[in-house]
Amino acid sequence: MSTAPFRVALSGDFKKPDGSPTFPDFDLGPLLSAPGVETVFLGPANPVTAEQLADFDALILLMPRFAAESIHPNGRLGLVARFGVGYDNVDTEACSKAGIALAITPDGVRRPVAVSIITFMLALTGKLMIKDRLTREGPAGFARRVDHMGVGLVGRTLGSIGIGNIGAELFRLAKPYDMKFIAHDPFADAKVAAELGIELVDLDSLFRRSDVLAVNCPLTPETRHLVNEARLGLMKPTAYFINTARGSIVDQQALTRVLQARRIAGAGLDVLEQEPPAADDPILTLDNVILAPHALCWTDQCFAGNGAADIRAVLSVMKGEEPRGVVNRSVLSSPVWKSRLERNRQRFGH
């Protein structure tokens, strides 16, 4: 049995320029203390280069891209463990061709992102930002508070584009608000929808009927600009739109025009098409949108959960086991992958 270590790379952005951890709540202890594991932080590169990864068995990836040219021809790398659930920075097809599993961390983000959506919903319908500004104006602001009545949620309709991992959790958390639930998801589990009291509807009906509409689908070629001007035009003028998924699912220019014209009541956006946005992006000037820097779900628990899930995936592959959260599941039946797992079982005695 080989005594060579199982080498794990972490993308360079897990460390600050001064060498301190970017996210202290990401506990590397279980990885650093695992017998036979060697952990290395990569230098900055975007995309990650094949030369950097030549001698590694697994990569834990934060923000840099992992492209086809990131794959070294020696075939050693077997896992890319993405820190989070979005994987549009990873060339999934290239990973599959090379027999590399791409794993994400649905358990780590399920509750934090769903809570983020609830946060936006309550802040928008309660006119929180407006009331904050009024308070800071003193007596003049207090005198105008009657002009900014909030919106009650009982009997209102909460809609979601997608009822997967996060979408389903959103409806679980929203149950005490006594809202009506509707969703559109071509891949929906009808049993889950029924258990949660969600009515499955077509996409146009979702936009027409929702009082609060949230995006809970991944960014794919099919979902890019799924939310466009025509669909936004179907929404009620009293409705609110929330996106915590990926900016490019929405045609942001169209959304900006809709908000400028006040054709909907407002929006809560944790994601934008360009991040960070240009200083002169008109969406930054609007008073009917609440913005966050793709970080509303960033909590100690979220990052601890993501990190723990990635470490579990890495250690599973090291032991010759199938990791949880694999996106490109077809790779798990490939001869390259099966051979790699068998070698790992032999190398580490499992």
Active site residues: 246, 275, 294
- What is d(CA 81, CA 241) in angstroms, rounded to the nearest whole number? 31
Q: Is residue 135 within 8 Å of residue 142, measured between CB atoms?
A: yes
Q: Can you say whether the dihedral through the CA atoms of 192, 198, 201, 206 is positive or negative?
A: negative
Instruction: Residue 9: name the closest of 25, 44, 23, 1 by CA.
Output: 44
- What is d(CA 124, CA 341) in angstroms, rounded to the nearest whole number? 49
Instruction: Residue 258: name the closest of 283, 223, 229, 284 by CA.
Output: 229
**At a CB cut-off of 8 Å and minimum separation 6, what does 114 contact?**
166, 169, 170, 172, 173
DSSP 308: H
CA 303 vs CA 28, 65, 92, 148, 327: distances in Å = 12, 20, 23, 36, 20
Q: Is residue 347 within 8 Å of residue 4, measured between CB atoms?
A: yes
Q: Is residue 161 within 8 Å of residue 206, measured between CB atoms?
A: yes
Crossing angle (nearest 10°) for helices 300-318 and 335-348: 90
> Residue holding tokens 């049993």?
191
- What is d(CA 200, CA 162) in angstroms, rounded to the nearest whole number? 10
Widest CA span in the chain: 78
Q: Can you say whether the dihedral through the CA atoms of 299, 225, 175, 208 is positive or negative?
A: positive
* Omega before residue 47 within 30° of 0, cis: yes
